[in-house]
């Protein structure tokens, strides 16, 4: 259980460090408006969009009334889905064009779409189902009770993940804004596309392995 919650936080830190999740947009907003408050506002909007994306992915799994009966199958299926997303991103390296069409003032919407397009929420699904699987042995409980419990847990997972993402991304954005500047971005830009795709495959494989290991 500790390892699974650690994975929720670690994946959030990883998402925050990844520039593809938006922290350069927060730096850009602060530099253009010459106000530090703009950076915090942008970070907040990015966090809101990311949290909504996490909930949008996790809640459907939480609301499945057959979660107890089909727990192993769901966890294996979720793991395979994450692996498929990672393989797709390895093959298709181009970023979705529609992200570039979102107005810069709509950072929450951009963050939501970016997280969905890059499979950020999918990365949490095997971890979340693993957390549920630890104590989902009360199959006699009423369906509504189970759904309520799982939905609440999904929201907690999404919030914990988003807080970690915001801390990591916000720290980098603040450092670039105050000390490193745009020259740092132009000289040391790092691309995590391949690492991101491989990490999806790794998380999916771990999810399948843990699910099959619990049989």
56-103: pLDDT as tens digits: 888 877 766 455 566 677 778 888 888 888 888 888 767 666 566 676
Alpha-carbon distance of 100 to 106, in angstroms, equals 12
**How many angstroms separate the CA atoms of 70 and 164, rounded?**
31
Q: DSSP character for 68?
A: T
* pLDDT at residue number 215: 58
User: pLDDT for 133-191, tens place per residue?
Assistant: 544 444 434 444 555 567 778 888 899 999 999 999 999 898 888 877 666 666 655 56
C-alpha span between 85 and 78 (Å, rounded): 11
CA gyration radius, the chain: 18
Express as a percent the part of the chain with pLDDT over 90.
13
pLDDT band at 41 (very low <50, low <70, confident <90, very high): very high
- The confidence score (pLDDT) of residue 101 equals 66
- Specify whether the CB–CB gap between 24 and 181 falls below 8 A: no
Instruction: Judge whether residue 25 has pLDDT over 60.
Output: yes
For tokens 């670039």, what's the residue? Answer: 176
Q: Where are the alpha helices (DSSP H) in the chain?
A: 2-17, 23-33, 36-62, 71-91, 107-117, 120-135, 143-175, 181-188, 193-213
pLDDT confidence bin for 123, thresholds 50/70/90:
confident
Full-model pTM: 0.74
Average pLDDT value for the chain: 78
**Separation CA 206–CA 199 (nearest Å):** 10
25 touches 42 (CB < 8 A): yes
Within 64-118, residue ranges assigned H as helices are: 71-91, 107-117
> Which tokens sit at 15?
């998402």
Task: Please provide residue 63's backbone torsions phi and psi, each rounded to the nearest 5 degrees.
Answer: -90, 5
- Is residue 87 helix, strand or coil? helix
8 A C-beta contact, residue 146 and residue 120:
no
pLDDT at position 139, please?
43
List Cα–Cα distances, 151 to 5, 56, 60, 106, 117, in angstroms.
16, 11, 9, 27, 23
């Amino acid at each position: 259980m500790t390892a699974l919650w650690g994975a929720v936080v670690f994946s959030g830190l990883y998402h925050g460090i990844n520039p593809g999740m938006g922290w350069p947009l927060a730096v850009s907003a602060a530099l253009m408006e010459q106000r530090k408050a703009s950076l915090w506002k942008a970070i907040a909007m990015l966090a809101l969009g990311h949290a909504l994306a996490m909930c949008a992915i996790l809640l459907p799994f939480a609301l499945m009334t057959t979660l107890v009966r089909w727990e192993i199958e769901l966890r294996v299926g979720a793991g395979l889905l994450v692996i498929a997303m990672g393989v797709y991103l390895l093959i298709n390296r181009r970023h979705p064009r529609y992200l570039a069409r979102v107005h810069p003032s709509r950072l929450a919407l951009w963050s939501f779409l970016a997280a969905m397009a890059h499979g950020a929420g999918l990365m949490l699904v095997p971890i979340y189902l693993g957390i549920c699987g630890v104590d989902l042995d009360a199959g006699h409980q009423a369906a509504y009770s189970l759904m309520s419990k799982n939905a609440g847990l999904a929201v907690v997972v999404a919030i914990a993940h988003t807080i970690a993402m915001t801390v990591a991304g916000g720290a980098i954005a603040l450092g670039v804004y105050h000390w490193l500047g745009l020259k740092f971005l132009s000289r040391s830009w790092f691309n995590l596309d391949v690492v991101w795709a491989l990490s999806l495959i790794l998380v999916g494989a771990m999810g399948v392995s843990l699910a099959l290991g619990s049989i």
